[in-house]
Amino acid sequence: MIDTHAHLDMLKNKDDILESVNSLKAIITIGCDKEEINKAVELSKRFDNVFASIGFHPYDVNDISDKDIENLKTTAEKNSKVVAIGETGLDYYREITPKEKQVYFFERQLELAKELGLPVVIHSRSADEDTLKILEKHSPYPDSGVMHCFGGGVELMEKTVELGFYISFAGNITYPKADNLRNVLKKVPLDRLLIETDCPFLAPQKKRGKENKPVYLIYTLEFISEFLGIDKNQLEKITENNAEKLFKINKYATV
């Protein structure tokens, strides 16, 4: 399995990092602010099968400037295991930062990803319309990207797939009340489907209430395989191939 979106540095028990690194084929760890960006890069250097995606989360754009985007560029250029930019995007669910700032730095990071030739990791919550408007404005995306922890509607999924993006589901797809998400899931083309934990958040139903970690990705894989009626091993292979293609990580030898 490949966990396409984990916040490894946030795991409270550091043994969980080792356990996950030893159990999964690869993990993309995310750095969302200045401190976490450094931690994500460090983790990718320490473990062969850990890769970093670095950027500024919409919660973390309040006190940054264009200079920080410049620094992000330098960090990405200097480290070959930085395989994507983000997570970046819009979060209107908890409007922790003003919309204008979220939009501004979302657009800067979309531009940066293109400049660097990297895919972009998109966070969009309660912001389908504006996310789509901005993504369409900046298309095309020759290096693609992923709508991580997908939580939007069918229209956002279909239009971002048209733009060339992948759709990634996290543990919340397993929650009893997530019928709307499962309605999206059944329409996602299999060659664009990814899975993630978004750990330490959103533990799958079977581990709900616990701190999430990459080894729990199996519960999301099993759930989706059952829901879609696809053999588990086959679905694992499909999602691994998609992740390797998107993040261009097949050139690295992994476990």
93: tokens are 């669910």
Q: Residue 10 Cβ, how far from Zn ion at the closest point, in Å?
A: 9
Amino acid letter, 126: S
Residue 213's closest CA among 232, 196, 226, 230? 196
Q: Is 148 in contact with 121 (CB distance < 8 Å)?
A: yes
Q: Residue 193 Cβ, how far from Zn ion at the closest point, in Å?
A: 18
Name the one range near Zn ion by CB under 5 A: 59-67, 195-203, 225-233, 240-248.
195-203
Q: Residue 231 Cβ, how far from Zn ion at the closest point, in Å?
A: 29
Percent helix, strand and coil across the chain, each rounded to 5?
50, 15, 35
State which residue, 212 or 225, has the beta carbon closest to Zn ion: 212
Q: Is 123 in the site for Zn ion (CB under 5 A)?
A: yes
State which residue, 76 or 149, has the beta carbon closest to Zn ion: 149
| Burial (CB count within 10 angstroms: exposed 0-12, middle 13-18, buried 19+), residue 129 | middle
Q: What is the Cα–Cα distance from 223 to 68, expressed in whole angstroms? A: 40
State which residue, 33 or 198, has the beta carbon closest to Zn ion: 198
Distances (CA, A) of 249 to 16, 104, 107, 166: 23, 30, 26, 16
Ranges within 19-78 binding Zn ion (CB under 5 A): none
State which residue, 60 or 198, has the beta carbon closest to Zn ion: 198
State which residue, 26 or 225, has the beta carbon closest to Zn ion: 26
The mark string for 80-99 relative to Zn ion (x by CB under 5 A, - otherwise) is -------x------------
With CB atoms as reference, the residue minimizing the distance to Zn ion is 123
Residues forming a β-bridge with 26: 2
Residues near Zn ion (CB under 5 A) are 87, 123, 198
